[in-house]
Amino acid sequence: MKKKKVLIASITTLSIVLIIWAVILYQVFAIKSKSSYYGSTYDMRAPDFTLTSQDGAKVKLADFKGKAVFIFFGYTHCPDICPVTLANLNNAVNELGDDKNRVQVLFVTVDPERDTQAELKKYVTYFNKDFIGLTGTPDEIKDVADSYHVFYLKEDTGSESGYLMGHTSSVYLINPDGRIVLRYPQSKMDPKEIAKDVKRIL
């Protein structure tokens, strides 16, 4: 009887130890899996919005439910960051092969004063015919930018080329369930690595 009690106690202790190790290993692998993304991990429900596309249509983020969505705030007169970013996003989408039809890139202007629908259409389709440029009233743009924690500011250069817009340059990746899961700062713009992230969340 005494041996039986010792055996039961030993089995119970061993079971507890195994459970503890299982929990520890799960947490380690979960953290490792999460941090192994190329982009910076982010977790926020993507706020829905309604803006106007380059073709004059009303567009909601909810229209793309079931797809991975890149959202980037910029402007067509941007001298460097915006064109480089859109070129990298085009390359990332092209890396996806057949999966590229499950991805949408949205370019939201922070300069609605100059970025007419015609300007947006000419600009975004230069990089990819399927990219969508979005504009709206200044108040609409501000509301969307604020909901995504995006900063922008008009900067008067005093030159003939006019003003510049300082703005948040990160790209946000929204998963098919409508959550922002990754953020890409300008230091993380490798198209091949971005494409790998997209394949993992699709």
Q: Is 123 helix (H, G, I), strand (E, B) or coil?
A: helix
Show the DSSP H helices in the chain as ranges: 2-35, 81-94, 117-127, 138-147, 191-201
Ramachandran class of 97: left when φ > 0, alpha when ψ lies in -120 to 50, beta otherwise: left
pLDDT for residue 153 is more than 80: yes
- pLDDT mean over 46-75: 98
The owner of tokens 């192994």 is: 36
**What is the token pair recorded at 137?**
């009233």
* pLDDT for the residue numbered 29: 44
Is it the case that residue 184 has pLDDT exceeding 80?
yes
Kindly tell me the sign of the dihedral angle through the C-alpha atoms of 54, 55, 60, 65. negative
Contact 164, 82 (CB under 8 A): no
Given this model, what pLDDT does residue 21 score? Answer: 45
In which band, very low, low, confident or very high, does the pLDDT at 158 lie, cut at 50, 70 and 90?
confident
The Cα–Cα gap between 43 and 65 comes to: 17
**Residue 33 vs residue 65, higher pLDDT:** 65
Cα atoms in the 13 Å half-sphere on the side-chain side of 44: 13
User: Which residue has tokens 């948040």?
Assistant: 168
pLDDT band at 32 (very low <50, low <70, confident <90, very high): very low
The rounded distance, in Å, linking the Cα atoms of 1 and 117 is 85
Q: pLDDT tens digits for 123-133? A: 999 999 999 99
Q: Is the pLDDT of residue 20 over 80?
A: no
The residues pairing with 108 across neighbouring beta strands, listed in sequence order, are: 73, 134
Residue 22 pLDDT > 50, yes or no?
no
pLDDT at 160: 73
Listed in sequence order, the residues at least 6 apart from 87 whose beta carbon sits closer than 8 Å to its beta carbon are 127
Per residue in 63-77, pLDDT (tens digit) is 999 999 999 999 999
Check if the beta carbon of residue 159 is closer than 8 Å to that of residue 80: no
